[in-house]
Chains A and B, each alone.
Chain A
Amino acid sequence: MTPASAATPAANTPGWSRESMQARLGGSGGGGNKAEAATLRRARIGDAMLDWACRLSAALIALMLISLIAVLVHSAWPAIKQFGLGFLVNSEWRANEIERPLRDSAGKLILRDGEPAMETLAPAFGALPVIWGTAISSALALLIAVPISLSAAIFLVRVAPKLKIAGAASFLIEFLAAVPSLAFGIWALFVLAPFFQKYVGPFLHRILEPLPGLRWMFYESTTVAGRTIERPIPLTGRDLFTGSLILAIMILPIVTSVSRDVLRAVPRTQIEGTLALGATWWQSCVAMLRYGRSGLLGAIMLGLARAAGETMAVTMVIGNNNQISPSPFAPAQTMASVLANEFGEATEGLHRAALLYVALILLTMSLIFNVIARRLVVGKLASRNQ
């Protein structure tokens, strides 16, 4: 095509000759020093442009993380300055001023000019309720999801290939991971929560209440006017328990697929060795789990990070109440859900700053979980590849 390739007789393998390759690559092979120099210059400029475009794009990724941290710290600064680290352990979250009647030490209303005297409680912000909600819901979710995920991972690695269903089962689990959290939220809100309210909640209540030491699950006691009043927690189906369950369902795919990869990386000789020594199927699985334990821990940490940061589904079913209740059947609030619920309406400066402080805590936590998880999983899988 180019004059250069026509002029050179050495091109006996047309597909891979230098000229045809250069023609294909867009260069003009030869054709005088001047043209060659121009081509070279153009090539250098092109390379330099690509280099810097790549470097800039890559730098942008670093910039993204830096700006994420910097902006959150900057915007949350009023709250950080005011509350300090005490924010983490303060359990009061009041976005607005509350007026309530003043009571004396015996719990009687104090009357002033025939009217009950009122006291005004200033807004207060403490992150303990949402940290509590996040911790308990994530822990419960892991408690439910990890045994199921690990057993499914073992099945996928040890059994499914023999049945020739490993591909199909893996595809289904990966599709579950691609379903948006909103879809789980809708399902949880319209199907799971009513089901729990109608059947599961009352059932558990009937079964568990007579057992000694479990009364706290179904009754909350409040101290009003010096007396302790115990009242049953209304079973709405929108509570910590339902929130944890939907979280468990949502982290199943990620924990399963990462555990599967980790277990698949266990050398065959390990398994065959245990079997040769007379181990049963399960005993060789235990050996396999033990061999991959750090990678499995990483898989669990990834699940934990996912659970702690999950927003939409949890917001829809956890009940959204900034309180600390020991009962799993009481409405709760997580860090992510308080942000989704209140950030849009937080017009007052300190409220917004407090929410940004919560976001900063959430970010820090998920960064830590992710870093640990990547170290554990990547380390394990990389050592296999070498």
Chain B
Amino acid sequence: MNKKSKGTSVKVRRVIAYVVLILLSFLCLFWFYVLFINATRSNSELKMGFTALPSKHLWKNWINLVGGTLPVVRGLVNSLIVSSLNAILCTYFSTMTAYAIHAYRFKFRNVLYTFILMIMMIPNQVTALGFVQLMQKMNLMDNLLPLILPSIAAPVTFFYMKQYMDSVLSKSLIEAARMDGAGELMTFHRIVLPLMKPAIAVQAIFTFVSSWNNYFIPSLILHKDKIKTLPILIAQLRSADWLKFDMGQVYVMIAFSIFPVIIVYLFLSKYIVGGVMAGGVKE
């Protein structure tokens, strides 16, 4: 009796779960479906309202876009450069910083650690004003460096690395390496970095994505078309210009900045989702 009612309740709960999941999945995917359909339609077709089936103007819209005034391919290259370097620098140096706090006992260690945790709360935007002024003085406006170098000091990534390190890197392991006569740099590169690989992979992806999507600071630094990253070009779609009248082009441009990420994600999703989980467990 008891067992039976429990069985039905599980069944009911399972149905509810599926319904909610399907609904949420729909809410996640629907927009991209509409985006895809509309990217394949010409401006005059778009004027006639929405249809569920794609048309055949995708390639033509794309040609129009590339031949237009927005330097989209250039923007893609710029975005790739900034995001890749961000991911590499950020994870490497955050691991190094975490290792410094984790493995060594020195004066001010606790002070510095608390300090880094405190500055984790400072939003980027708060220092933007001084940042832009400084970049003007350093002659780094319209340059990609101000978007790349600051990633070396990333308190949030540091925090994640430190947490992860606490659980995987024991004192004895470091001691053992020292016994074998490995120098400190060598220990870091040969022992610590490989051990941190899962955490580095997760954080590399996150850093890459957040840099890929970053809009606020680049919009203050980059003004020349040649140097702009994709999010800024996207924002320009809204500024008044009759050249952007072709909605087919607008949709293709949005699709162009969204779909490559989705495709890469579908290949890596197992590792990404798993990585987020793995990171979460350690916290």
Q: Do A and B come from one complex?
A: no
Residues of A within 8 A of B (CB): none
Residues of B within 8 A of A (CB): none
